[in-house]
């Protein structure tokens, strides 16, 4: 990733660290974050050693730890890491980039990453690093923005809000990339992963007002299974094979 882009992301998250949880840890946001977390946790080993890349304020680690296990989080933003330490006092957090993970080979049973992958200019490096630090038969599970109908207008919204200097947790133009199934299969298999499974999740959007949000939540499981073109997060789980 270019240093300028990485600095822009880091500065943004340092600036909004104190309000981040207003977005994802209040009723609508909590429903959304819990939903994507459960979606990923279904594929991850429970009670294992987990690395969460781009851990933010520790929302996923907190949920993962409630089922046992131990987790370490890395993130570019020092202020997000400070919030994560307050949230999960028993976990380890450190400043670090997903593209240069500060851990030895074969250290973790599982790697997770929520709402980060689309920001990476060099996702191949992140996957290479995730592969390196995973133990053989370890699992990776990520969730990010998918290339679907509902996400098409997002870059324009980011750009407008940035020009208008709106301080919003997610409104920022980082040149995100929106992935489809084929791209995900390609980059995960190029990194050496097997058992690659791509699924779609999320239909109830945080910015929907009630009762629309409640309705969207009710139909969410149906949409994800039967009309995935309306879901906006793409999730990938994959395994590091036993033999290299
Ligand atoms: C939308 S937040 C998601 C935070 C958390 N995963 C969650 O689910 O709430 C994106 C986070 O990714 C971090 N981030 C972005 N690019 C990163 C990179 N290359 N390496 C590590 N962290 C990164 C940001 O600092 C920010 O905390």
d(CA 130, CA 101): 8
Residue found under tokens 């050496």: 192
User: Ligand 1 within 6 A of 235 CB?
Assistant: no
Q: How far is the CA of 197 from the centre of ligand 1 (A)?
A: 23
Which pLDDT band holds residue 90 (cuts at 50, 70, 90)? very high
Q: Residue 109: its pLDDT value, please? A: 98
Question: Whole-model pTM?
Answer: 0.90
> Does the Cβ of 36 fall within 6 Å of ligand 1?
no
pLDDT for 157: 54
DSSP 228: G
Residue range 165-172: average pLDDT?
A: 57
Look at 43 and 209; give whichever has higher pLDDT: 43
Answer yes or no: are the C-beta atoms of 227 and 200 closer than 8 Å.
no
Residue 114 has pLDDT above 90, yes or no: yes
pLDDT band at 233 (very low <50, low <70, confident <90, very high): very high
Residue-averaged pLDDT of the chain: 89
Pocket test of ligand 1: the residue of 40, 51, 54 to mutate, having most ligand atoms within 8 Å of its CB, is 54
Each residue's pLDDT tens digit, 172-210: 666 788 899 999 999 999 999 999 999 999 888 887 888
- From the CB of 93, is ligand 1 less than 6 Å away? no
Q: Whose CA is nearest to atom 4 of ligand 1?
A: 56
Q: Where are the alpha helices (DSSP H) in the chain?
A: 3-24, 27-41, 59-65, 78-87, 123-133, 154-163, 181-190, 212-226
- Residue 171, CA distances (Å) to 15, 23, 162, 176, 180 in order: 13, 12, 7, 11, 22
Interval between CA 74 and ligand 1 midpoint (Å): 9
Domain 3-146+177-239 has CATH 3.40.50.150: yes
What is the per-residue pLDDT for 221? 92
pLDDT of amino acid 232: 85
Report domain extents, the chain.
Answer: 3-146+177-239
Of 22-26, 119-123, 131-135, 153-157, give the lowest mean pLDDT range. Answer: 153-157
Give the residues across from 111 on adjacent strands.
51, 140
Confidence of residue 153 (pLDDT cuts 50, 70, 90): low
Measured CA to CA, the distance from residue 169 to residue 177 in angstroms comes to 18
How far apart are the C-alpha atoms of 40 and 59, rounded to whole Å? Answer: 13
Q: pLDDT higher for 219 or 229?
A: 219
């Amino acid at each position: 990733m270019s240093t300028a882009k990485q600095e822009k992301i880091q500065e943004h998250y340092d600036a909004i660290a104190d309000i981040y949880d207003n977005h994802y840890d209040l009723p609508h946001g909590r429903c959304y974050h819990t939903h994507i977390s459960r979606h990923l946790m279904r594929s991850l080993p429970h009670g294992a050693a987990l690395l969460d890349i781009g851990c933010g304020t520790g929302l996923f680690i907190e949920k993962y730890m409630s089922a046992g296990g131990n987790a370490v989080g890395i993130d570019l933003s020092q202020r997000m890491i400070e919030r994560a330490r307050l949230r999960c006092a028993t976990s380890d957090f450190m400043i670090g980039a997903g593209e240069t993970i500060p851990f030895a080979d074969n250290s973790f049973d599982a790697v997770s990453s929520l709402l980060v992958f689309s920001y990476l200019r060099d996702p191949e490096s992140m996957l290479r690093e995730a592969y390196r630090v995973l133990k053989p038969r370890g699992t990776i599970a990520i969730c990010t923005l998918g290339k679907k109908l509902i996400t098409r207008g997002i870059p324009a919204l980011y750009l407008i809000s940035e020009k208008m200097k709106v301080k919003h947790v997610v409104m920022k133009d980082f040149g995100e990339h929106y992935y489809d199934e084929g791209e995900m299969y390609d980059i995960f298999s190029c990194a050496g992963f097997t058992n690659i499974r791509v699924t779609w999740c999320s239909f109830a959007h945080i910015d929907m007002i009630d009762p629309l949000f409640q309705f969207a939540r009710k139909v969410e499981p149906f949409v994800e299974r039967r009309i995935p073109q309306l879901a906006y997060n793409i999730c990938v789980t994959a395994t590091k094979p036993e033999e290299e």
